[in-house]
Amino acid sequence: MPTYLITGGAGFIGSHLAQVLSDQGETVRVLDNLVSGKMRNLEPARRGKGDFSFLEGDIRDLDTCHKAMEGVDYVLHQAARPSVQRSIEDPLASHEVNATGSLNILWAAKEAGVKRVVVASSSSIYGDVEPESAPKEESLPPKPLSPYAVSKVAMENYCTAFYKVYGLETVRLRYFNVFGPRQDPESPYAAVVPKFLFALTSGEAPTVLGDGRQSRDFTYVDNVVAANLAACIAPEAPGQAINVAAGVSHDLLDLLQVLGELLDSDIQPKFGPARSGEVRYSLASLAQARRVLGYEPKVDFHQGLARLVELAVQGRYLD
């Protein structure tokens, strides 16, 4: 029975990975420093059929990374310091976690003889693509617009180097605007879906930064979990960068309209100044994901939002 290490496993995406693996009866170890992750997110994984364990620690500490790797077969590296805006405010901290911390994970995995490391990268590394409507393909050269994106490029380059130099199997999954239950709506750096959702359910006007026509390839978390698990075993995946998305783009005003319809709300948004360093248009090509992982998004934009609204109305958003 293989052992899975999930870094950042008490966070939004990591806790969903832990829950699914534990429900499948797998051996799961979570490493998290609990800065943004929460122990309550791990309760579903603890209740699963698998052998679950938790290690509190920081990926910036190499000794902690070595300890976490003992007996591990697969690493799902989700730990990160997210947010473009936060990286603009403090680029050093973003680099320490996303680049240096990831290097620690790769080195410890190599030393421990781990079979494969699957890392969470980001669509932000592409920057703005011309023409604007073009899907972003993995072959495009990185054009990072923020320190956050730069730190993810650095992580990806280390993954490539470790695969080529040390033979450590690494897979780089480029997430496109993931949303789903447990995504923190209260952080000042919260993602747009939970921010809009909880503003509307509270009877408040959501704030749109910019004109609202910036588009995103919104991706429900179940699709991301499926891509990670496929990336652990797909024969052609090592050494690859692979988009994980829905393959359909929606702008922020579309998002607000759908949420308003689902909640039967006619609250109109407020508008604020656009943020610097943010990509304006985002749409993923899924050709590589389909070919290498056999990936197909199972939950689309409207289905995902409907699930999220139902959970929020029932008070089960954090379950």
The torsion angles phi and psi of 170, rounded to 5 degrees, stand at -130, 145
Distance separating alpha carbons of residues 70 and 249, to the nearest angstrom: 41
In Å, how far are 8, 82, 193, 200, 248 from 255, measured between CA atoms? 28, 22, 8, 12, 13
Contact yes or no for 275/210 (Cβ under 8 A): yes
The torsion angles phi and psi of 253, rounded to 5 degrees, stand at -70, -35
Strand 250-251, strand 215-216: pairing = antiparallel
Is 148 noted as a catalytic residue in this protein?
Answer: yes
- Give the 3-state secondary structure of residue 67: helix
Contact yes or no for 95/152 (Cβ under 8 A): no
The distance from CA 191 to its chain's CA centroid, rounded to whole angstroms, is 11
- Give the 3-state secondary structure of residue 106: helix
Catalytic site residue from 148, 158, 281, 317: 148
In Å, how far are 255, 279, 295 from 261, measured between CA atoms? 10, 27, 30
Residues forming the active site: 148
